[in-house]
Amino acid sequence: MRQALLNYINKIHPIDSSILEGFIGCWLHEKRKKKEVVTEANKREDYLYFVTKGIQKAYYVNEGKAFNIAFSYPYNFTCTPESFLTQQPSQYYWECITDSEFLKIKYSTFFGYVEEYPEFQTLLYKKLIGTLNGIGNRYHRLLTQSMEERFISLMTNSPQLINLIPQKEIANYLKIDPTNFSKLINSIKI
């Protein structure tokens, strides 16, 4: 697990092994069960996570209905980023869709490295740019693409998700009625 984290970091931005070794040693292992909420709305995110097993979803709840905004899966950083970065309460939930395992690092420890080592500032900068780009692309798809185009985009960019995440969760994420989603799976060949 720690080797996967080390490899992931070095793909984003290489960091001297002597510094990185100490950083990797700060991460704690954690297991969570299916349907367990990792971060609740109105609670502060105290950890940055690295997913080593399982699938999770981030979602808002409005008038009792959930609206999926993101999925996380191995091997990626994840959390409720706005809450983690600002240390303000999260506006949404982050929950395990399947049994999951993580490595996690506390906010103060993570930012201790960011403040002390310029390499971690660059790592954070690159990761934030990638996250912002992903959010912008998602908004663009939701605002400008038809449901068929959103479905094709997901199947082109992340085809593995169709076998990992329940279809109703993907339909919610794509803002497609589950019945129409089922029709798309049966009619559109990718």
Q: What angle do CA 36, 161, 54 make, to 5 degrees?
A: 35
Going from N- to C-terminal start, the domains of the chain cover 2-118
Residue 1 has pLDDT above 90, yes or no: no
Q: Quick one: average pLDDT of 49-64?
A: 96
pLDDT for res 190: 61
pLDDT digits (tens, 9 = 90+) for 61-96: 999 999 999 999 999 999 999 999 999 999 999 999
Q: Quick one: average pLDDT of 147-169?
A: 89
Q: State the Cα–Cα distance between residues 154 and 57, nearest whole angstrom.
A: 16
CB 181 within 8 A of CB 174: yes
Reduce the DSSP state of residue 141 to 3 states and report it.
helix
Which CATH class, in words, describes the domain spanning 2-118?
mainly beta
Residue 109 has pLDDT above 80, yes or no: yes
pTM of the prediction? Answer: 0.90
Residue 178 has pLDDT above 80, yes or no: yes
| Token pair of 136 as six digits | 């912008």
